[in-house]
Amino acid sequence: MPQTHENHRELVMRIAKTDFKLRYHGSVLGYVWVVLKPLLMFTILNFVFSSIFNFRNSGTPYYPLELLTALLLFQFFSEATMTGLTSLVSKAQLVTKIYVPRWTIVLGSTMNTLFSYGINLIVLAFFFVLYHKAPTLSGVVMFLVYSALLYILAVAFSFLAAPFYVRFRDIATIWEVALSVIMYASPIIYPLSIIPMKYWQLILLNPVAFIVNYGKQGLINGNFTTVGHFVAMAAGIGLSCIIAYLVFRKYEKTVAEMI
């Protein structure tokens, strides 16, 4: 490839920063939306599900905290995959008018959602204080590890789908529907405990469900999965990211002609 770049890290960061700058451009509340949106979602879901289903009495005393944690994780995943998926098209200029390594576009775009996730974690910490709940150190560490895994998973999806989205714009709509399926198939608004135990394994095969469940469980209740399960899941996600990247490199070549 003709060399135009030596410094990929700077490029990725610049793309991410620019996206972040432009994200709430033209809105009155601006960056407040970064935290306001998940909080509004949380307030509604919390009101509906705590009062109607009364989870408080079904062995989940910290239901609001669990809900918020899970919701932040899921929204992070949903946003990261959506921006990653559409990144090549939304930054068509960088694809068709100049050569920059295309993976930097995908990575930079998803990274922007990492920033807002980081800000939301501060809000989450505030809620822990509000509910007088102190997580254990291992709980926090594992939570961060799960967040990282979730990000890798989102990047893997983006690498896999972004070159095809250029040709088939339907993928965005399909993925939106798929995301809501994933949301209800994961223990986000409900605790895993309300599901018969025999189905747990099936549900937790879904990496998003696995991460959401054990991420919040570790943080709030100090429950962890087995080392074996964790390693298998992490290896699976890592491997899928590598495969996705290889697929991406194969199909990115014709992307400029297709947009």
Which amino acid is residue 41, in one-letter code?
M
33/24 Cα distance (integer angstroms): 8
Q: Which is nearer to other proteins, 56 or 169 (CB)?
A: 169
Among 21, 181, 193, 242, binds other proteins (CB under 8 A): 21
Contact 217, 135 (CB under 8 A): no
Applying CB under 8 A, the span of 14-22, 37-45, 207-215, 220-228 interacting with other proteins comes to 14-22
112/19 Cα distance (integer angstroms): 6
Q: Which is nearer to other proteins, 56 or 167 (CB)?
A: 167
Tell me the closest approach of the beta carbon of residue 9 to other proteins, in angstroms: 9
Query: Which one, of 74, 68, 87, 72, lies nearest residue 16 by Cα?
Result: 87
Applying CB under 8 A, the span of 50-58, 163-171, 198-206, 226-234 interacting with other proteins comes to 163-171
* CA 233 and chain centroid, separation: 16
Per CB under 8 A, 194 contacts other proteins: no
149/229 Cα distance (integer angstroms): 14
Angle at 75 between CA 250 and CA 180, to 5 degrees: 80
Per CB under 8 A, 94 contacts other proteins: yes
Residues 24 to 53 in contact with other proteins, rule: CB under 8 A: 25-26
**# residues contacting other proteins (CB under 8 A):** 33
Question: Which stretches of the chain bind other proteins, using CB under 8 A?
Answer: 1-7, 10-11, 14, 18, 21-22, 25-26, 93-100, 167-171, 174, 253-254, 256-257
